[in-house]
Each structure stands twice: as C-alpha cells, then as structure tokens.
Chain A
Amino acid sequence: MAIVTAQKTPDRQPPLSETSIIGWMQKNLFSSITNTILTVITLYIVYLTVKGIYIWGFADATFVAENRRECYNNSLTGACWAGVIDWMDNIMYGRYPRDELWRINAGGILVVLWMAPLWMSKVKGKIFIGISVVMLYPFLAGYLFSGGSKGLFMQVMVSGAIVAFIANMLNMIIGLTKNQSLVQFLLRIFNQNNASDKTQRNVILGIMIISFLAIFLWQISFNLEKVGWTQWGGLFLTLVIAGVGIAASMPLGVILALGRRSRLPVVRVLSTSFIEIFRSVPLITVLFMATTMFPLFMPDGFVLNKLVQVIIAVILFNACYMAENVRAGLQAIPKGQFEGAHTIGLGYWGTMGLIVMPQALKHMIPNIVGNFIGLLKNSTLVSIIGLFDILLMLRSISRDVPWLGLHREPLIFGAVLFFILCFSMSKYSRHLEKKLSTDNKS
C-alpha cells in the first residue's frame, strides 16, 4: 500500500556537511589525521611567511627617505621602498626627457582607447578597428616616442592615424549611444541614407579626404622635440620591445608554419631548419649574435642602431616559437575542413585564409598569450647587452650614490610588476579560451 498524496513533498535541505563552512572544512582540510597535521603545519608556514612579508614589506618599511642611511635610521629590519619610489620615473620611462613624459603616457592611453571598442559588443566595424590599430597606430606611436621633424611619408601616416583614431572614437560613442556605425550616422546627417551605393561611397570618401586634409595641414604646424633611442628605457622600453616583437613575429610565424607544412620540399626544409636552429639556442646567444654579427652583415657605411638590432633578433627568435604555436593550431583542424574547402573550389590561400586560419586562431589564443608572456619575461635579457630596460634601471638603483647597495627592494618591485602583468594576462587568456570554446565538451 503506497501512500499517495496529490502534493509533492518538499525537497529536504542538503545535509549540513555539504553546505556549511564547517562541513566544507571537514571535507577539505580535516578529513583524516594526516590531513589535519598537514593543514596545521601548512597553516603555520603560511602564517610565518605572510607575517614576515608584512613586517618586512609594510610594517617596518620606510616609504619616505632621502637616502639609505635614513632608511636604516628608521628601521633596520624593514624594506627601504623610498629608493624605489625615488627612482619610479626612471623605472617606468628610463632617461626619457622629463618634460616629454606626456608623450609616452599619451601613446599608452591612445592604444588602450583605440583597442577598447574591440571589447564592446555594441560597437560596429571591429575589423576596421583591428586593422587600423595594427597598420596605423605604430606610426603615430613611433612618432610620438621619437619625435623630430617628419618626412612626407611620416606626415601622411601620422595624419592618417589621427583621422583613424578620431573616427574610431566617434564610432565608439555613436555605437554606444545610438547603436549605429559612424558611416550610417554620417549618411543620416547628410540625408543620404536612401541614396545609391555610389553616392554614399562618394560622400564618405569626401568626408574622409576633407578631414584628412584638415589634419594634414594642422599637423604641419608643429613638430615634437626629437628624443633619441638611447634615452628610451625602463618599463616603456621593455613594452616597446615586447610589443613590436609580438606584432612582427606573428605574420612571420604564420609564414614559417605554413612553410613547414608545405608540400614543396625546398620550402619545407628551409622553414624547418630555420625554426629548429633558432629554437635550439638560447635567446642571449641570438642577442649577442645580433650585436656582434649584424654589423658585419650590413653593406658598407650602413649602421643599424642597437635597439633595431635587438628588436630584429627578438623578432627572429620569437617567430620560430610562434610558428610552432601556429603549427599546433593548424594540426588541430580536422582534415575534412581542408577537403571541404577544396571541394567548393578554394585554392591554397583561400583555404588557409578563409577556412583554416580563422578556426586555428581560436585554438592558438592561449598559446599566443603564453608566448607573449614568455617574450615579456625574456625581454629583460636585453639588459645584459646594455639596453636600459626595466631590469637595468632596477639594478642601477644600487649604484646610485644615495641608495648604494639597495638590491632586494628594486628587484622585488620588478618581480611584482611582472607578476601582475603576466598573471592577469594568463588568467584573461584562460577566460577567453572558455568563452570562445564552441565544442560541447563540458
């Protein structure tokens, strides 16, 4: 005889051991005697470490002082952050003229603003934004950072970049407020939104040319003060080397990876040996090669400056690692995709560019971010061959007279800075990987 009721009996609450903190602790920390002992010991070690770091780094630390002697007078057991704070501008910008620092900041803000729309779902025309940031931003930033008098080419590129940046910002604002693209908005203003394609195109082209000319004429009137590359330094130089390195090694890496998978034996052998040679030697030997052998390779009377030598070396080195990432991404694409693309009549470049690469890119994102993190960490090696990057700046503090012998604090500061940069990037890439993942596995 079953007891039948019309109403469903309410669900019982889960047992306390599954929901409460005590239950969680019992399961994860004190499940057995050995586990309890382990927990207590670990807790003690963690307590000691955190306490030690807190006392050394904060409680007993000196943040304001004129020199190291004052730090010692304040406390013998604490860190002397005053030295790091005193040198902060050097650590960030190197020996860049102090009056011109706004240029570096502007360059940094520009790239953030330029790329910001890529993360906004309402904004349209992301492909153009992506292309413009790769093709035009480097010229604007390059001019901002180095200054000097502009040649005609530089004038054109800088004006183009400014126009593109303004258009990008307007596009973002219009996209966020009116949910339209800039082009649609402009056409509506000029009452041309029902006109033929050709008229529309002409109107847009006209607006572009007029604004370009206006900017071009405006920018002739001023020149930024010239700052030689020897004055670049600090975190700024590190980011320039890593940024240029990653941006330029990407296309080279794709070419090398395609070459390695090519059906043509000569192309395959050349790409493979290039990749394997650079992957089997340490970066520092490649950097030494760049500084000692590149001058011999150049034709008579042609001198590359050290920064360019280093950047070329970094690009060559990193491209080989990038090529392996791309190859791994290509290998993850099932053969059916190639065959399908061939079936609908696409040639080699069509197959690769339209079908394979877009899918492979998704698989490659975590590896590319990992590669960028590796490059950022490795770019500290340029300090060995005498470029004043962040590490050499940090090490210079200990040679500065007021802060003589201050080694630990600057290095720890640098390590924390790198940790924040690298850790947040790797976390974000993992998040992106999850978001982009389209397969149905959990």
Chain B
Amino acid sequence: MAQAVDKKNKARLRPKEKFNFFQDQRVRSVFYQLLTAGLVGWFLYYLGSNTAQNLEARGMSTGFGFFNTTAGFDTEFKLIKYTPGVGTYRDIFIIGALNTLLVSFFAIIASTILGFFVGILRLSNNWLVAKVALAFVEIFRNTPLLIQIIFWFMGIFSVLPVIKKTIDLSFGAEFLLLNNRGLYFATPIFGNLFWLTALALAIAIIAVIIIRFRAKKRQEQTGEQVKILLPCIALIVLLPAITFFATGMPLAWDIPSIQGFNFVGGASLPPAFLALFVALSIYHAASIAEAVRAGILSVNKGQTEAALSIGLEQKKVISLVVIPQARPAIIPPMISNWLDTVKNSSLAVAIGYNDIVSLFMQTTLNQIGHALEIVGLTMAFYMTISLIISGFLNIYNKRVQLVER
C-alpha cells in the first residue's frame, strides 16, 4: 500500500525533464571524450607525419629488415654462440636481453636474501645492531645507484690485483679466482652416469614432499607431531651421495689456469657484471629491508602477545603468527622492487656491461640507425617483463584477498 502511494507521489513530484543540450550529462561526456580523443589523435598524427617527412628527407628506411643483417662488432660477454661478421642483429638483441635477465636474476636473489636479513636486524632488540642496520639502509638508499655502480666498477673491481697476483676465493683450490679481469670459476664436466645422481636427487625431493604432506595430515587429524626434519635431511643428502659414489664419481671440474697472459678453462664473469650485480643487490637490499621491516611492524602487537600467552615459544611465534600475517604486506613492495631491479640493470650502459640497452639501444643504434624500431623494441622488452611480473603480483594479491575473507 505505502509503496504504491510512494510511487504515485514520486511520479507526480518528478519535474518535467527539459532536455538542455549544453547542460546534459551524457552529451557533455561524449563531447569531452571526443575532444580528448581528437586532440590526442591529432597530436599523434602530427608527430607521425613529421617523422615520415624527416625520414624521407634523410633517406632513412624503416622496418625490421635489419634483424637479418650481419653485425660486425663483437661483445665481451655473451651467453649464446656468436661470431662477429656471421651473427645477425637478432643475435645481438638476444645476447643483450639474456645478459639483462642474467644479472637481474642473480641480483634479485641476492638482494632478497640480504634485504630480509637486514630488515630483521633493523628490528633487533639489540640497539647497536638495529642502528648499524639503519645506517646501512640509509646510506645506500640515499645515494644515487649510478654513482654506486660506477664506484664498484672503477673503485673496486677494476683495481683488483692483476692476473699474476690473482686472489683465490676458494682457499687454494683454484675454483674461484678474482682479479681485475673478472671472476673466473671452475665449471663442472658431467660424466656419463651423472644423470643417475640427478635422478636420485629428484626422487629424494619428491619423497621428502610426500613425507611432509603425510606428517602434516597426521598432525591435523590426531594432533601428534612427527619429527621429520632429520630423516628428510638424511634422505636428501645420502641418497644422491650414495648414488654418486656407487656410479664411480662421474664428475670432473674444468679448473681455470693461467696460460700466457690469460686464463684457460672454466668460465668467467667480467668486472662490469660483478660491479652491476653487487651494486644492484646492495641498493635493492636496502629497499627490501625497509619493506620487510614495515611488513613485520604492520602486524598488531597484540598478536605476538596473545601467541606468547598461549604458550608458544618465541621462534614459533615468529614463524606461525607474525610471518604469515606480515607476508601480504611484504610481498607486493618486494615484487615491485624486483621490477625496479630489472629496470635499473639498464644502468649497465654506464660501465659497459653488454645488456640490452648498451648493446642494442646504443651500439646497434649508432651503427645502423633505425631509431624508431630499436627504441620501440627495447621498450617493448622492458614492458613485457614488467607485465609478466605485475601479472604475478596481481595473482598473488587476489589469492591473499581470497584467504582473508
């Protein structure tokens, strides 16, 4: 009844809609959108026509045909086979991309480990340790990364002892040699039967996963806790080791040794790689440390106190109560830090590490022109990586949100 009356009143009260063309919301929204699109479109057309004119005036060709032309220059550091004069610019692009990914990958791992460590030290109840960690973070966060990279390169890795006085980091075994030409390390040579050891390791890992799963299930059902740590370690160490010795140790090392003026054998990383790796790791460790600290502090103090009051030990409080709640606050800034690491690895160009920017965007562009294609392609490379990484971030955020509700 009441509703019906309401409806009637409403119908009566509603003012007559006058259609005013200039005041109408929809008309205005369409107009503004057309205006924006038109302006942007005109601007892009203007740039495009200028570019076409300029290219024509300078007699420059466009297109990706240069990908199949052979490149005449050599690169110091490469992960794939390439010979100057035979390899194409496509190879150059691939070498650069792989080098970027390589240094970023190692820097991400190192900075995450170091960052966690420093972030936890920041919260130490030891005043001195906390202050030292704070000093580390502030010093490396407040100086430009480029200065740090150049300092590591020029001030440390380029002035290391010469090859004759090389530093042995493996205490005389000559497995890890550091000198002003870079880091030389022994590479493994796998024997015929080495695959059996690898197989044994895989089996051991699968077995450990199964054991853990069953132990957890049992604890959930009966409340009994089974100690599985020791058997698991034994399994993972002993099974591959026994296989390794049973098959007659099918593994040798290719050890770098001085012959004439250079090293023969093993593999090496150039000083530029080391400088970039160390600088990126430390710089980003400082930001990750801050993210870790903020994440742990974001967990309510009452949670820790409640966990302590129900009798959990300090270690379990951290691993079962604090860390699981801090994780959603730590991981997103950490992933965006990983993304920054990949982007910042482009500073390699300042010290001559052969990453995608220095090989492709600088050397190739200087040699053959094609600015539009090369700049576009390099940017597309970085965009793809950041799309992939932020895709992972979105998936993670969704999962965390689902768990919360």
Interface assignment of B272: CB less than 8 Å from any CB of chain A: no
Contact A300 B126 (CB under 8 A): no
Residue A289 at the chain B interface, CB threshold 8 Å: yes
- CB of B42 closer than 8 Å to a CB of A: no
Give me 6 other A-B pairs in contact (C-beta within 8 A), A42-B132, A377-B145, A384-B146 excluded.
A39-B126, A264-B29, A281-B386, A288-B365, A391-B144, A407-B158
How many whole Å from B157's CB to the nearest CB in chain A? 11
State which residues 281-299 of A face B: CB under 8 Å.
281-282, 284-285, 288-289, 292-293, 295-299
Q: Which of B32, B125, B150, B386 contacts A28 (CB 8 A)?
A: B125
Q: Give the chain A neighbours of B147 by CB distance below 8 A.
A: 380, 391, 394, 411, 414-415, 418
Inter-chain contact A411/B126, CB cutoff 8 Å: no
Contact A289–B139 (Cβ < 8 Å): no
Q: Which residues of A contact B387 (CB under 8 A)?
A: 280
Tell me, yes or no, whether B4 is within 8 Å of chain A by CB. no
**B37 at the A/B interface (Cβ < 8 Å)?**
yes
Kindly state the separation between the CA atoms of A438 and B303 in the bound complex, as whole angstroms. Answer: 28
B49 smallest CB distance to A (angstroms): 9
A380 and B146 within 8 A (CB): yes
Distance (Å) between the CB of A227 and the closest chain B CB?
Answer: 26
Residue B242 at the chain A interface, CB threshold 8 Å: no
- In the complex, which residues of chain B have a beta carbon less than 8 angstroms from the beta carbon of A295? 54
List the B side residues contacting A188 at CB < 8 Å: none
Chain B residues near A431: list those with CB within 8 A: none
B47 within 8 A of partner (CB): yes
Interface residue from B126, B127, B148, B154 paired with A398 (Cβ < 8 Å): B154
- Whether A293 lies near B371 (C-beta < 8 A) is yes
Whether the Cβ atoms of A288 and B382 lie closer than 8 Å is no
Interface residue? B206 (CB, 8 A): no
A296 touches B371 (CB 8 A): yes
- A281-B382, A285-B361 known; A411 and B150 CB under 8 Å? yes
B193 CB-CB contact with A under 8 Å = no
Q: Is B383 an interface residue (CB 8 A)?
A: yes
Instruction: Judge whether A355 is part of the interface by a CB distance below 8 angstroms.
Output: no
Tell me whether A281 and B379 are in contact (CB under 8 A).
Answer: yes
B221 close to A (CB within 8 Å) = no
Residue of A nearest to B144 (CB): A377
Q: Tell me the complex Cα distance, A298–B382, Å.
A: 26
CB of A395 within 8 A of chain B? yes
- The reply to whether B357 and A282 form a contact with Cβ atoms under 8 Å apart is yes
Q: What is the chain A residue whose CB lies nearest that of B386?
A: A280
Neighbouring A residues of B129 by C-beta, 8 Å: 38-39, 42
Q: How many Å from the CB of B117 to the closest CB on chain A? A: 14
Decide if A266 touches B33 in the complex (CB within 8 Å). Answer: yes
Would you call B128 and A29 a contact (CB within 8 A)?
A: yes
Q: Is B375 an interface residue (CB 8 A)?
A: yes
CB-CB under 8 A from A395, the residues of chain B are: 150
Q: Please, which residues of chain A bring their CB within 8 A of the CB of B151?
A: 407-408, 411-412, 415
List 28 contacting pairs A-B, 8 Å CB cutoff, sorted by A: A28-B125, A28-B126, A38-B124, A38-B129, A43-B128, A45-B132, A264-B29, A264-B36, A266-B33, A277-B383, A279-B386, A280-B382, A280-B386, A280-B387, A282-B346, A285-B382, A288-B362, A289-B375, A296-B51, A299-B50, A300-B50, A300-B54, A380-B146, A383-B350, A411-B154, A412-B151, A412-B155, A419-B143
Contacts of B53 in A (CB 8 A): 299-300
Residues of B103-154 contacting chain A, CB below 8 A: 124-129, 132, 138-139, 142-148, 150-151, 154
> Is A282's CB under 8 angstroms from B343's CB?
yes
Alpha-carbon distance between A415 and B138 when the two chains are bound, in angstroms? 12
B40 at the interface (CB under 8 A from A): yes
A269 to B378, CA, bound (A): 23
A8 part of interface (Cβ distance < 8 Å): no
B349 in the interface (beta carbon within 8 A): yes
Q: In this complex, what residue of A is CB-closest to B51?
A: A296
Is A102's beta carbon under 8 Å from chain B? Answer: no
**Min CB–CB distance B156 → chain A (angstroms):** 9
Q: Is the CB of A35 within 8 A of B36?
A: no
CA distance A288 to B374 in the complex (A): 10
Cβ-based interface call for B55 (8 A): yes
Chain B residues closer than 8 Å to A308, beta-carbon distance: none
Q: A42-B132, A280-B383 are in contact. Are A28 and B127 (CB under 8 A)?
A: yes
B252 interface residue per 8 A CB criterion: no
Interchain CB contact under 8 A, A38 and B126: yes
